[in-house]
Amino acid sequence: MKSKVKILVALNSFKECADSTEISTLLKASFNKYIPDDLKNALDITYKPVSDGGDGFLEVCKYHFGLETLHFEILKPYEDEKFFCPAAFSPDTKTLYVESADVLGLKTVPLEYRHPLSLSSKGIGDLLLQIMDGVYTGFLDVENVVIGIGGTAVNDLGLGMMEMFGLELYNESDNQLEVIPKNFADVEKIVVPEVNLPFNLEIVSDVENPLIGKDGAAKIFAKQKGAVDDEIELLEKGFVNMLKQLEIDDDTIKQLNGAGGGLSAGLKLFFNANNKFAKQFITQSLSVNSSTDAYDLVVTGEGKFDAQTFYNKGAMIVYNEFAEKNIPLFFICGISDGDLPENDNLHLIELSEYFDSVEESLKNVDKGIELASKKICKEIIKLITKKETKV
């Protein structure tokens, strides 16, 4: 019996464009269209959409774990109005999955409100309160809550979340301040509530960068959230002051993560959440693992390939897992900015090259994926021919 050509398709989401399950579906349709029927039996294609905790996390969990969709009405990051936010539940494991990007992500905040100095993570606090109430009343049978962290519009260390539990901020004149980042540098006193959650809390962080400093939450990610240079400096100054007011020692600060504008750090500080980095989630929970599966070709990718990709974002985790396997590695992205890893087997496909503008490529991601698949299919056919020739 001839051995089949094994292919792994494990793409991350294209932020504000399409989630990883949608991209996988598009690629599957294109492969079916462009691979000749008489060669399809020679293929074993595995589709494993991935998430590093950011955009698309919930859909990936539903795809892999077979979850029930629930909805909660929670506060918006930029005003005291509510909207319906999805979550997903596993009755078997009594685990509720939440995507922070659905609660307070860029996709939830209109462009005119994308000013991180004025945005709050209160929606996460609102959601946790409702889950707590559901557990206490018996309405929800939840023992574990898993929150994917990434793609957020906020940069507030999770303090807005804690405001929902009673956190208060005061300046040197003992005047109470609104719990938003533009006030953090002026805080001289903080009242922190004690909260005991009636469930285990786990977070999946999309990046592994520190909380503060040149590679911290504000310096690396606040610009894409809408902050300009002087605002980024104020965000950084505010974080440093809040950590001082919370009396967090240097050793602890070094262990804190900057994912989600510091939301990851806040969940750790205030709720002692168990932090599972994206690499663990992808290689273990989603079983994208080079030590257990051998492939002849791997397809991964995400919306943009740039410096942030190297902070162990989802697609880079997949790439690193198979980079030394001496197999073709296709990386599909909307656009790239920066140097590629030095690997002769790496093939970068920029969808923007197929269109006149980045905006046009975003609107036509389905067409872009189809064009990218043609290039990949040529390599797949070569692999089939090579394997059949050896036999």
Q: What is the pLDDT of residue 165?
A: 98
Reply yes or no on whether the pLDDT at 335 is more than 90.
Answer: no
Q: Which pTM does this prediction carry?
A: 0.91
Mean pLDDT of the residues in the chain: 93
What whole-number percentage of the chain has pLDDT above 90?
80
- In the chain, count H helices and then E strands: 14, 14
User: Residue 359 has what pLDDT?
Assistant: 82
Helices (H), the chain: 20-34, 37-40, 57-65, 100-104, 122-137, 159-163, 217-225, 229-245, 250-255, 263-271, 278-280, 314-322, 358-363, 365-390
Delineate the domains of the chain, giving CATH numbers in brackets: 5-50+298-390 (3.40.50.10350), 57-279 (3.90.1510.10)
DSSP 309-325: GGTT-HHHHHHHHHTTS
Banded model confidence at residue 313, pLDDT cuts 50, 70, 90: confident
Q: Which amino acid is at 302?
A: E
Pick from 198-202, 300-304, 337-341: least confident? 337-341
What is the per-residue pLDDT across 138-165, written as a single tens digit (0 to 9) for each? 999 999 999 999 989 999 999 999 999 9
- Do residues 231 and 222 make contact, with C-beta atoms less than 8 angstroms apart? yes
pLDDT in tens, 92-135: 999 999 999 999 999 899 999 999 999 999 999 999 999 999 99
| Average pLDDT estimate for 180-197 | 97
How does residue 307 score in pLDDT terms, banded at 50, 70 and 90? low
According to the model, what pLDDT value does residue 391 have?
53
pLDDT tens digit sequence for 226-283: 999 999 999 999 999 999 999 999 999 999 999 999 999 999 999 999 998 889 999 9
pLDDT of residue 308: 67
For residue 326, give Cα distances in angstroms to 33, 173, 338, 371: 27, 64, 23, 25
In a 3-state reduction of DSSP, which class is residue 19?
Answer: coil
- pLDDT of 21-36, one tens digit each? 999 999 999 999 999 9
